[in-house]
Structure 1
Amino acid sequence: MIAKADGARAHERLKAETDAACSYDIFGSPAFVIDGETFWGDDRLEEGLAWAAGRYELQTLNHDEKD
């Protein structure tokens, strides 16, 4: 496990994930980005989930109105 964690593939993945986080202006962990809205910190997890559920419900409603 330690050899894998210290391998080139793991380092490449870490760099890619760090670059992605920086592109969202994430500066700490945990952070969640949902449809461009950032929720930072474990105490915001429930808000992030509620946001995601609301976005899903809105998308479902918009889809149903087109039918």
Structure 2
Amino acid sequence: MPEDKHEKPGYVVHDVRAQWQPAAYQGLTVSLAVNNLLDKEYSEHSSFTLSSGNSMPEPGRDLRLGMSYRF
């Protein structure tokens, strides 16, 4: 690799998802998602600049709660 080029380091993040459908409420679904569970600092490959080796870090842990009702 040329000296003026920087290699993008790899990364691993862990995402967790859960879904619950209570028996008492037919059609109701409650969902929970936690992205980047361990709050690892990383940069997406698309934001990495090979010429400078700089990148913008991702925001960190992301928690999402959702509900849906089908009738």
- Considering Cα pairs closer than 8 Å and 6+ residues apart, tell me whether 1 or 2 has the greater RCO: 2
TM-score, normalised relative to structure 1: 0.24
The TM-score, its normalising length taken from structure 2, stands at: 0.23
Structure number having the greater helix percentage: 1
